Amino acid sequence: MQQTLIVILGPTGIGKTDLSIDIARELGTEIISSDSRQIYKELKIGTAVPSDDQLQKVKHHFIGNKSIYDYYNASMFEFEVLDLLNELYKTYNQVVMTGGSGMYINAVCDGIDELPTIDMQLRNDLLQKYHDEGVESLRIQLKMLDPQSYQRIDLKNPKRILKALEVTIQTGQPYSSFLTRPKKKRPFHILKIGLQRERDELYQRINVRVDQMVHDGLVEEARKFFKDRHLNSLNTVGYKELFEHFEGKISLNKAIELIKRNSRHYAKRQMSWFNRDQEIHWFHPEKEKNIMGFIKSKIK
């Protein structure tokens, strides 16, 4: 039997968790989470991690195994997951991976180029320059140092320019020269299952879930990390809005409203990302029998 990675993806709130657990149980295997925020042990309620009960049913990996104070990125995820898969495939022929972080999923399925880790000092210096002199000066610098990236990058997006500059300056070689975009060969098959619902239905689920999170103590969870709000890991829907509230800028109700809206926006961005991927087989999350049947037909 061939070894297969069954990837269950879709926007936030679509119903990945329940389905993945059912599939993993049916196949008698384990689950790898591909969610860039559920990975942080401090963020439970706001990232909708599986319940203790659910975690009991199937062994999950990459949930709560990092701290918000750690540095982490998609490349690290790629290597850690590949290592883990190497182990898991000694026991299982199929492993389920589920989550909504498109770049993390791509890193595992296709790989991403090797880039150096950026020196914090350099990063801060460039950020300072950006704040002092604006994007235009970053553009000029990039055009000089790496004309190719200048051509290719979204010049209206400061984060993307910053990234290119960081790599170029740190290594002395243009950022563009690192981007070979190889689709790395994986020693296992990949089967992508995409989940989709009617837009209204999805948005309704998101709204209900946010209310549930608040009921479950999201506000208190966020308050614990108010002091750390500058951390990137906390630049996350469900937390950043509450930080605004704690700062007295908006009411609690307004914050909750914004969490719902920003979750919808996030879901839309996820859909845009996944829509490009021609390898995805789309299903309604409640068509579980169809999905199971499809998976079984593919792994035999």
Partner RNA sequence: GGGGAGAUACCAAAGUGGCCAACUGGGGCAGACUGUAACUCUGCUGGCGCACGCCUUCGUAGGUUCGAAUCCUGCUCUCCCCA
Instruction: Tell me how far apart the alpha carbons of residues 36 and 63 are, in angstroms, rounded to a whole number.
Output: 9
Nearer to RNA by C-beta: 77 or 295?
77
Q: Is 92 helix (H, G, I), strand (E, B) or coil?
A: coil
Stretch touching RNA by CB under 7 A, among 23-31, 57-65, 188-196, 270-278: 270-278
Residue written as tokens 């309604």?
284
The region, left, alpha or beta by phi > 0 then psi within -120 to 50, assigned to residue 109 is: alpha
Q: Is 115 in the site for RNA (CB under 7 A)?
A: yes
Which residues within the stretch 116-145 sit at the binding site for RNA (CB under 7 A)? Answer: 117-118, 123
Q: Which stretch binds RNA (CB under 7 A): 2-10, 136-144, 261-269, 279-287?
A: 261-269
Radius of gyration (Cα) for the chain, nearest Å? 20
Residue nearer to RNA on the CB measure, 27 or 260: 260
CB 289, min distance to RNA, A: 28
CA–CA dist 202, 112 (Å, integer) = 31
Burial of 122 (0-12, 13-18, 19+ CB in 10 A): middle
Detail the DSSP E strand segments found in the chain: 4-9, 31-33, 60-61, 94-98, 189-195, 280-283
Distance, first Cα to last Cα, the chain:
7
Stretches 15-23, 57-65, 67-75, 246-254: which one binds RNA (CB under 7 A)?
67-75
Beta bridge partners of 33: 98
- For RNA, the closer of residues 203 and 243 by Cβ is 203
Stretch of 14-22, 82-90, 236-244, 246-254 lying at the interface with RNA (CB under 7 A)? 236-244
Cβ-in-10-Å burial (0-12, 13-18, 19+) of 278 comes to exposed
Q: Which is nearer to RNA, 56 or 275 (CB)?
A: 275
Stretch that binds RNA, among 16-24, 89-97, 107-115, 287-295 (CB under 7 A): 107-115
Q: How far is the CB of 108 from RNA (least distance, A)?
A: 13
Nearest to RNA of 203, 283 (CB atom) = 203
Task: Give the 3-state secondary structure of residue 13.
Answer: coil
Under the binding rule (CB under 7 A), the answer on residue 212 touching RNA is: no
Using the rule CB under 7 A, is 165 a contact of RNA?
no
209 binds RNA (CB under 7 A): no
CB of 48 to RNA, least distance (A): 6
Helix or strand run (H / E) with residue 298: helix 288-299
State which H helix or E strand residue 290 sits in. Answer: helix 288-299
Binding flag, residue 184, RNA (CB under 7 A): no
Residues that bind RNA (CB under 7 A): 12, 35-38, 46-48, 71-76, 100-104, 112-115, 117-118, 123, 154, 156-160, 163, 179-182, 199, 203, 231-233, 235-238, 261-266, 268-269, 271-273, 275-276
